[in-house]
Chain A
């Protein structure tokens, strides 16, 4: 199977996961602050940090599964375009306060998530080598 098929399968699953989880979070917790997208982007950044580092660090996972999980799943799951749209919508409303918070929280937590994912992958690989 060519790589793009793996990417297609992964992004279908990632998009679906974002749709279901993001809607659930937004319905339960968010009012008009885009908490759903924030949660998706932060968890997705953590997941990609972990998955990319972990799958690159072990020969047990080939490029197909790596493409499925990273470019595919995480690519379909996280969304920069929605983050941009929702920030623009807040600015359009003159809601600069929440726009600034959304911007700052998204960048800070997503970056922190990526570092945490990388750290977790390092630990997991170390653990794997020990046994």
Chain B
């Protein structure tokens, strides 16, 4: 690597992944427990890279019913978004199972460029598989074990 960063290379692992966003409601259930919880547990049990659940402050869905945390009676089914970043194969593999769990909702999939940081990774391993190309190209480093 050349340039001003040469002395201290960025240590993030870099690659192409798929970002899956699942839009559901806070009150959606799967076998008696919150659906978002069931989905996170499913992803975790399959050792997926990670998942994040976000609860929104306002929104509406297919029924056009407004939900907002500012109005007591409209705060009982706030929008939930579950995000998961994984390889395309793994996302595709889990979709049929999530399909069977969701009654009403929406899933979006998009390609994502990822820079991943692992706090517990030793410094000498941090640039093994990917190297940051400061020209903005997102290609795997041919010298590393992709």
Q: Which residues of A contact B (CB under 8 A)?
A: 19, 22-23, 26-27, 30-32, 34, 36-37, 79, 82, 85-86, 89-90, 93
Other than the known A26-B66, A30-B66, A30-B71, what 13 A-B pairs have Cβ atoms closer than 8 Å?
Answer: A23-B73, A26-B73, A26-B74, A27-B74, A31-B66, A32-B66, A32-B71, A34-B70, A37-B72, A79-B72, A85-B72, A86-B70, A89-B69
Q: Are B73 and A93 in contact (CB under 8 A)?
A: no
Name the 4 nearest CB pairs between A and B, nearest first.
A89-B70, A82-B72, A23-B73, A22-B73
Distance A93 CA – B74 CA, assembled complex (angstroms):
17
With CB as the reference atom, state the residue of chain A lying closest to B60.
A27
B68 close to chain A: CB less than 8 A? yes
Question: Would you list 28 pairs from A and B whose C-beta atoms are within 8 A, ordered by A residue?
Answer: A19-B73, A22-B73, A23-B74, A26-B71, A26-B73, A26-B74, A27-B74, A30-B66, A30-B71, A32-B58, A32-B66, A32-B68, A32-B70, A32-B71, A34-B70, A34-B71, A36-B71, A36-B73, A37-B71, A37-B72, A37-B73, A79-B72, A82-B72, A82-B73, A85-B72, A86-B70, A86-B71, A90-B70
State how many residues of chain B have any CB contact under 8 Å with chain A. 10
Distance A34 CA – B70 CA, assembled complex (angstroms):
8
A interface SS class: helix
Question: Distance in Å from the Cβ of A38 to the closest Cβ of chain B?
Answer: 11
Question: Distance in Å from the Cβ of B3 to the closest Cβ of chain A?
Answer: 45
Q: Which residues of B contact A (CB under 8 A)?
A: 58, 65-66, 68-74
Distance A23 CA – B63 CA, assembled complex (angstroms):
14
With CB as the reference atom, state the residue of chain B lying closest to A27.
B65
Question: Distance in Å from the Cβ of A90 to the closest Cβ of chain B?
Answer: 7
Residues of B within 8 A of A27 (CB): 65-66, 74
Distance A93 CA – B68 CA, assembled complex (angstroms):
13
Residues of A within 8 A of B72 (CB): 34, 37, 79, 82, 85-86
Question: Distance in Å from the Cβ of B74 to the closest Cβ of chain A?
Answer: 6
Question: Distance in Å from the Cβ of A29 to the closest Cβ of chain B?
Answer: 11
With CB as the reference atom, state the residue of chain A lying closest to B58.
A32
Partner of B70, one of A19, A22, A93: A93
Distance A37 CA – B66 CA, assembled complex (angstroms):
15
Residues of B within 8 A of A31 (CB): 66
Residues of A within 8 A of B65 (CB): 27
Question: Distance in Å from the Cβ of B18 to the closest Cβ of chain A?
Answer: 35
With CB as the reference atom, state the residue of chain A lying closest to B64.
A27
